[in-house]
Amino acid sequence: MTDPGGAPAGRRLLLGRQLLDHQIVDQDGRLAGKVDDVELTLPEDRDHGRPVVTALLSGRGALASRLGGPLGRLASVLSRRILPDPCDADGDADPDAPDGRIWFGDVTDLGNHVTVAVDAADLATDAVEQAVRRTFVDRIPGAKEPGA
């Protein structure tokens, strides 16, 4: 299914209906954001290659830029303001920081959920979760145990 040069046989997937806006679940069953957008790569040689689904986009403004319009722009600006940025002030990217891309090769199952073979903690959407946890939630007593 993920083989770009494969024959047309195999399971067909409707991007809009069966992929976009679906829940992403990590290898341990943790909820890890939504499929905010899907990235296709067109081959350089259009006559012989096929477009390949390269990545699912989740977090890091993917939703805001997809929504567009005034609301989307506002969300974009807000998310850049509020959310931690993996780039430093000069714009040098931290090569290990998640950029919101999940390689399609990491997708292990496509059902009601999109299951991926990575740890949610390594994904962009979880960086915000971690930041909120570190700066705020962990400081409230009782944050570490489930309810009694």
Partner 1 sequence: MKRFLGITLGVLTAMGGFVDIGDIVANAQTGARFRMALAWAVVLGVVGICVFAEMAGRVAAVSQRPVFDLVRERLGAGVGLANLLASFFITFLTLTAEIAGVALALQLATDVHYLLWLPLCGLLVWLVIWRVRFESMERIFGLLGLVLIVLAVALWRLEPDWGGLVDSARHPAVPLGEGRPTYFYYAIALFGAAMTPYEVFFFSSGAVEERWSRRDLILNKANVFIGFPLGGMLSLALMGLTATVFAPVGIGPDHLSTVALPVSVALGKVGLALVIVGFFAATFGAALETGLSAGYTVSQYFGWPWGKRFAPREASRFHVVVLVSILVAVLFGLTAVDPIKVTEYSIVLSAAALPLTYVPILLVANDPDYMGDLVNRRLSNVLGTVYLVLLVLVALVTIPLMVVTKAGA
When the beta carbons of 9 and 148 are compared against partner 1, the nearer one is 148
Q: Please pick, from the candidates 22, 70, 89, 90, the single residue that binds partner 1 as defined by CB under 8 A.
A: 22
User: Hey, what amino acid is at 65?
Assistant: S
When the beta carbons of 53 and 127 are compared against partner 1, the nearer one is 127
Q: How far apart are CA 115 and CA 20, in angstroms?
A: 13
101 near partner 1, judged by CB under 8 A = no
15 near partner 1, judged by CB under 8 A = no
137 near partner 1, judged by CB under 8 A = yes
Phi and psi at 20, nearest 5°, equal -60, 135
31 near partner 1, judged by CB under 8 A = yes
94 near partner 1, judged by CB under 8 A = no
102 near partner 1, judged by CB under 8 A = no
Backbone dihedral region of 114: left (phi > 0), alpha (psi from -120 to 50 degrees) or beta? beta
When the beta carbons of 28 and 47 are compared against partner 1, the nearer one is 28
Cβ proximity of 33 and 123 under 8 Å: yes
User: Hey, what amino acid is at 2?
Assistant: T
Report helix, strand or coil for 41.
strand
Q: How far apart are CA 14 and CA 9, in angstroms?
A: 15
Q: Which residues bind partner 1 (CB under 8 A)?
A: 20-24, 30-34, 36, 58, 63, 66-67, 71, 111-112, 125, 128-130, 132-133, 136-138, 140, 142-148
